[in-house]
Amino acid sequence: MNYTVTPLHCGTLRLDKSILTTQVDSGVTVPVPSICYLIEGAHGPVLVDTSFGNIQQMEQLHPSFECSRSAGATVTSQLDAHGYQPEDIEVVVLSHLHWDHCYNLELF
């Protein structure tokens, strides 16, 4: 059985590097991509993670994180580029429940 795993770039977070490096380089801001994964195989398409929500809402709810997303980088746009709509996704797997991985779950 063959599977294809495709990374979907669904935006970028800019955050303090010390969050990622156990308090090293505090004050240094780094870009971190929001990546979801589309897995295609015999059992239908599977999506791993659903990215963060709309930019305005994220600014209000999580002001210490700068979220950005280019046109066409929403999870639904990324799926559409690969020929899928949210209702086509058979299973959604969440790697964990941080907001930047599980917003948009209501779409599925």
Tell me the sheet residues that pair with 14.
Answer: 31, 66
Give DSSP secondary structure letters for 9-43. Answer: EEEEEEEEGGGTTTTTTTT-EEEEEEEEEEEESTT
- Give me the number of domains the chain comprises: 1
What does each C-alpha distance from 38 to 11, 16, 84 come to in angstroms? 15, 28, 10
Tell me the sheet residues that pair with 5.
Answer: 39
Domain coverage including residue 59? 4-107
49 three-state secondary structure: coil
Encode the chain (108 residues) as per-residue pLDDT tens digits: 799 999 999 999 999 999 889 889 999 999 999 999 999 998 889 999 999 999 999 999 999 889 999 999 999 999 999 999 999 999 999 999 999 999 999 999
CATH number at residue 36: 3.60.15.10
Model pLDDT, residue 23: 81
What does each C-alpha distance from 20 to 30, 31, 63 come to in angstroms? 10, 11, 18
Overall pTM surpassing 0.85 (yes/no): yes
